[in-house]
Amino acid sequence: MATPAVQQRMFYGWYIVATVVFINFLSIGTRAGFGLFVNPMSEELHWDRATISLAAAIGVLVGGVIQPFTGNIFDRYGGRRVLTLSLLAAGVATLALMWTMNLAYLIVMYSFVLSVAFAGASGSVVNVLVSRWFQRKRGTAIAITSMGASLGQLILIPFAMYLMTLAGWRNTWAVLGVAIIVLAAPLAYGFLRDDPSDMRLRPDGDGEPSKGGGPRKNGHAGRGPLEVDRWSMAFRSAPIWQIAAGYFVCGFTTNILSTHFVPFALDRGLSATAAATAFGVMGALNIVGVFAAGYFSDRMGRKNLLAAVYFVRGTAYAVLVLVHAPWALYAFVVIAGVSWLATIPLTTGLTADIYGLKRLGTLAGITLMGHQAGGAISIYFAGWVYDRVGSYDLAWGAASALLMLATVSALVIRERAYSVRYQPQAVGAEH
């Protein structure tokens, strides 16, 4: 018997995933590439490392503070419009950076305008959008979308460095801005849809849910014991605080690399091309780490994997501090690369499993605000430390210590008690 045509088509959620991969490739790749511009902008405009770090730190902090508001707008109006308008604004702001002449202009355009614009295309929007389209395969789907950021780091950052050697840092900003305007924004408007019900579909492409009972393994469940209709209710329970604490540390230990890894690698004797390539290799390894985290989290618990990721990253920073041999830098690239983005599907998936989808945009925005606050602190702290002692060792040591605390924070989350994945199947749908 022939399979109906509707069942032969690929589930539209995977088109959503593919679109978000490309959006992340351009938007997060551009944002993560700020470290490439630190030295050339500082040399031309006569800034020290702390000065330009201040602009980067303010940008990360502003982007974090705006996240809960962006998430709330998503919960109310959907992600398609938010993403499209945000990408257009981000493209214009990126293009405008080519005219940077002083610190005030950089802070206004990069730290405020661009940061607010990119907030609408951040994980608190795209990952929540993807979460609406998937339930059983949520971790895998979010992991695949996160690969876009890794590909941006692997491909876009070395390309931007090469372009910078040919045309200078000003024209490089211009090219990146135009790419976001003419490629990412139209793609978002053309392909993204806010909810599978808009297309008469169900999450994962499933048919009607079974009415049978029994414990849930990979099927759908009803409401979890902590699922919320108002976001503020989540903060009356421990898991959201534990998740947010770990994500604060995650932000501290990833944003610091986006701004300071390339300058650090140059200080260690790498050429500009080799430093950018090493940063790109981290992106390639991110693909492995984030996919493995998402895939296995759909088949086992998320919180133990999250703790393992924090522990592995903390070990990488410890190696960087304790060993100054050339091989230590490359070992760091490998270990940090595998663990860098692996927290994304685990954190978003765990939040969705415990608190449901209804206010996930707002909750993801709040936890991401903590992530970005950690990043802002680390970026400025590392630049300040470097200007005073000529080394990043103190910053790397602080990162390692915090990651060990984050490991403990993740381990004590009572996932089996609160996650909907471990509840008896109930009447009703997850969202």
Dihedral angle of Cα 278, 279, 280, 286, to the nearest 10 degrees: 110
pLDDT above 60 for 333: yes
Alpha-carbon span 155 to 149, nearest angstrom = 10
Q: How confident is the model at residue 425 (pLDDT cuts 50, 70, 90)?
A: low
Those residues whose C-beta lies under 8 Å from the C-beta of residue 55, and which sit 6 or more positions away, are: 103, 106, 107, 110, 111
Report the C-alpha gap between 299 and 305 in whole angstroms. Answer: 11
Q: In the structure, what pLDDT confidence band is assigned to residue 222 with cuts at 50, 70 and 90? A: low
Q: Residues 352-369: what's their mean pLDDT?
A: 86
CA distance 333 to 288: 13
For residue 84, pLDDT beyond 80: yes
Residue 304 and residue 164 in contact, taking contact as beta carbons nearer than 8 Å = no
Helix, strand, coil shares of the chain as percentages rounded to 5?
80, 0, 20
pLDDT band at 215 (very low <50, low <70, confident <90, very high): very low
Q: Is the pLDDT of residue 124 over 80?
A: no
- The Cα–Cα gap between 305 and 327 comes to 27
Q: For 145-198, how does the pLDDT look when each residue is reduced to its tens digit (9 = 90+)? A: 878 877 887 788 888 988 998 999 999 999 999 999 999 999 999 999 988 888
Report whether 48 contacts 164 (CB < 8 A).
no
Per-residue DSSP letter, 113: I
Residue 326 confidence (pLDDT):
78
Cα(368)–Cα(283) distance, integer angstroms: 20
Specify whether the CB–CB gap between 75 and 362 falls below 8 A. yes
Residue that is written with structure tokens 């606050």 in the block: 373
Token representation of residue 40: 């050339």
Q: For the domain with range 11-198+220-414, which CATH number is right: 3.20.20.60, 1.20.1250.20, 1.20.810.10, 1.20.120.530?
A: 1.20.1250.20
d(CA 128, CA 311): 26
Residue 408 has pLDDT above 70, yes or no: yes
Nearest alpha carbon to residue 16 among 153, 152, 131, 155: 131
Q: Give the three-state DSSP class for 223.
A: coil
Q: Is residue 213 pLDDT above 60, yes or no?
A: no
Element (H, E) at 380: helix 360-389
Residue ranges of domains in the chain: 11-198+220-414
Q: Residue type at 133? A: W
Burial of 82 (C-beta count, 10 Å sphere; 0-12/13-18/19+)? buried
State the Cα–Cα distance between residues 93 and 404, nearest whole angstrom. Answer: 37
At which residue do the structure tokens 């999450």 appear? 203
How far apart are alpha carbons 175 and 41 in whole angstroms?
A: 17
Average the pLDDT over 283-303 and give the result. Answer: 84
